[in-house]
Chain A
Amino acid sequence: MSKIIKNLKQFSTANERLEGAHLLCPGCAHSIIVRELVNCTDHNLVIANATGCMEVCTAVYPYTAWDTSWIHIGFENAATSAGAIAETYKVLERKGRLNKNAENTKVLAIGGDGATYDIGFQFLSGAVERGHDFTYVCLDNEVYANTGGQRSSSTPVGASTTTTPAGSQSIGNKTTKKDMIGIMAAHGAPYVAQVAPNKWKDMIMKFQKALEINGPTFVNAMSACTTEWRFPSHQTITVSDLATDSLAFPLYEIENGVYTINYRPKNIVPIKDYLAIQGRFKHLFKPGNEHIIEEWQKRVDKKWVQLQKMEEMTNS
């Protein structure tokens, strides 16, 4: 069952299910998010993890960082795997072959944006469409970090990555970020949400909700990447604060089509402040590139208006 977590002191009594001495970079947001994910519930968890930083750094023989059942098959098939495990649970329960200790189990899939937005997109779409009872959490750091910082379809415009390097003839990545949350909502998934690790309470509320709701649920977790976004490792939460307060990553949820904005920053920070702290956007502050930031700000403003309208419309 989901436990009621009122405050951090209470949360801190949770017994760890993700151990340290995994091999993620110092300051990595992935493990902050996933620690909160696996520790916010009392359910037994089976995790299907797509290839990516989280996978490659937590299960390198002879060590596993996982204190729960975990499987990694490939880059693209975490959603399929989770769906199949959920179906297995159903069959074994029906046939009386389920272990007694497996009652009260939830199935999770974890993937990066490479696995989710790109190579596993079809698999995720299929698994969500089929309606398996599982929760998919995307650790969205907007880049293929594990393979050395290549762009993904989640990479925002203007980001300098190793496959879209900024240079005299290039502003970096030329495409805008794919709207995965909208796409998942369009599948009719009963619950879709965006979270950020700095807002831990909002994040675990949504993780708990996603786990409790029957059917395929999807959570996109903003995961600031110290290595590829190029900021010092101690600033992960600072950068995350700027991401949520600038509305680069608005925190909202869509439950059965109904939008709820979960966080309205008291003071909305200009997008340029969020960009300025990250090395991947350094070139945008050179003369001649002002328009990139201006256009970005317009997009953020527009999206925020849209979200509020959606909230109003779907709640009326």
Chain B
Amino acid sequence: MSKEYVLKEVEFWDGAMASSQALRQAEVDIMAAYPITPSTPIIQNYADYLSNGYVDGEYIRTESEHAAMSACVAASAAGARVTTATSSQGFALMIEVLYQASGMRLPVVLNVANRALAAPLNVNGDHSDLYLGRDAGWINLCTFNQQEVYDMTLMSFKIGEHKNVRLPVMVHQDGFICSHTAQNVAPLQDDVARKFVGDFEAVDSLLDFARPVTYGAQTEEDWHFEHKAKQHKAIMDSINVIEDTFEEFEKLTGRKYNAVESYMMEDAEIAIVALGTTIESSIEAARQLREEGIKVGIVAPRVFRPFPYDKIADALKNVKAIGILDRSSPGGALGMLFNEVTAAIYTNDTKPVINNYIYGLGGRDTTIADLKQIAKEIQANADAGKLTTPVQQFSGLRGPKLSFFDMESSK
């Protein structure tokens, strides 16, 4: 039995601490992890709880992230509640096994402190790793501050382990900007958190010899398609359990979460769509702009996978122009968030003017001033009823203006 860790009503936690406290309260059986900046404090904190009796589990100190995720998959199949944390290159190394976890329907929880991908090497926050894993079949929950990291990490177990879901879950937080900066976090006490998360119920366990099971069979052209379709249906349907869990959590804490978060959208003429800590900065920028008469709102997918296509469309149906911000090097395309959000709003009757910003790569600071400038350009598009800028622009970049697809001037 683990010792109770008495928490203050409001703690001053960085994102890593928020995440590891939630892992502790979820009474994770197995953590298998390999350190990588900036996710490292998450696993160090857990090791500390373990060393001092605040959690009863095993920490498998693997020799790589690939092994970490492999251990998570095997331990989960054997009937353990498991978790790991990683970033960037470590995430990239895990990729092969991410698909195994979801394909075998194992509710592994992965905290990702989002970080840029090399080359060139960079340890700071952007969403390259988040984007890299988007098709891996995991539920992806996004957070914009430390409180949300705590809340989503607690909920991730409840969601992933739900008998109708049985899928792995990633909880994303911005590397350094969230993981290493502290804000006020209101945690639950251990008993309340444990009761909310619930006991782990093993399904199809490798350690149930009354019903031996084969995990990881091969399916060729006569079976593979059906299995992947069934898996896709499971993640698409998981939105119901996610929303139910959000509701249950709201009843417990008063904190309300939605598949798609909207801020100041009630009367918004223009919208910014983004992910991560940029949301908090955008909210502040919007407050200031509203004093200047610019009615900007912010839309952010809380649930990134399953992608809330319909709810994104609904959230953006009344605006005249949208700027969609991607914090990942797009590698020869428009930003992924731009593409997905654009696809979602295509079915609306309204046809807002949309453009794409690539920003903040490798931890480049994105200031309130940057976001205000972006909002003003979006407003100009709204006013003109057409693009006044190229479709894709780089924001906060030194050197000559870098942009692509100047549709208006090429007409």
Beta-carbon contacts under 8 Å, B193-240 to A: 202, 205-210, 212-220, 223, 227
Q: At the interface with chain B, which of A64-72, A152-160, A171-179?
A: A64-72
Size of the chain A interface, CB-CB below 8 angstroms: 49
Give the interface centre of B78, B97, B212, B223 by most chain A CB atoms within 10 Å. Answer: B78
Question: Given the complex, which residues of A lie within 8 Å of B74, measured CB to CB?
Answer: 48, 71, 73, 77, 80-82, 84-85, 88
A167 within 8 A of B: no
Task: Classify chain B's interface size.
Answer: 35 or more
Residues of B within 8 A of A61 (CB): 217-220, 223, 227
For residue B70, CB closer than 8 A to chain A, the reply is: yes
A99, B209: Cβ atoms under 8 Å?
A: yes
Q: Which among B60, B74, B97, B212 has the highest number of chain A CB atoms within 10 Å? A: B74
Which residues from B are CB-within-8-Å of A98? 207
Inter-chain CA distance A187–B223, complex, in Å, is 42
Which single residue of chain B is at the shortest CB-CB distance from A62? B223
With A87-B60, A126-B63 in contact, is A46–B216 under 8 Å at CB? no
Are the CB atoms of A122 and B63 closer together than 8 Å? yes
Q: How far, in Å, is B40 (CB) from chain A's closest CB?
A: 18
> Is the beta-carbon distance between B75 and A84 smaller than 8 angstroms?
yes
Interface residue B100 (Cβ < 8 Å from any Cβ of A): yes
Q: Which residue of B has the minimal Cβ distance to A99?
A: B208
Assess whether A91 is in contact with B206, with CB atoms less than 8 Å apart: no
User: When the two chains form their complex, are residues A77 and B66 in contact, meaning their CB atoms are under 8 A apart?
Assistant: yes
Interface residues of B in 21-66 (CB under 8 A from A): 29-30, 32, 56-58, 60-64, 66
Give which listed residue, B61, B207, B210, contacts A46 with CB less than 8 A: B207
Query: Which chain B residues (335-390) contact chain A, with CB distance < 8 Å?
Result: none
State whether A89 touches B70 (Cβ < 8 A): no
Nearest 7 CB-CB pairs, A to B? A126-B63, A72-B216, A81-B74, A77-B70, A84-B71, A64-B214, A71-B215
Interface CB pairs A-B, < 8 A, 28: A46-B78, A48-B74, A55-B216, A59-B216, A61-B223, A61-B227, A69-B214, A70-B213, A70-B216, A71-B74, A71-B206, A72-B217, A73-B97, A74-B100, A77-B67, A83-B60, A84-B70, A84-B78, A85-B207, A87-B60, A88-B78, A91-B57, A99-B209, A101-B208, A102-B207, A102-B208, A123-B70, A130-B61
Residues of B within 8 A of A (CB): 29-30, 32, 56-58, 60-64, 66-67, 70-75, 77-80, 96-97, 100, 202, 205-210, 212-220, 223, 227
Residues of A within 8 A of B (CB): 44, 46, 48-49, 55-56, 59-62, 64, 66-74, 76-77, 80-85, 87-92, 94-95, 97-99, 101-102, 105, 122-123, 125-127, 129-130
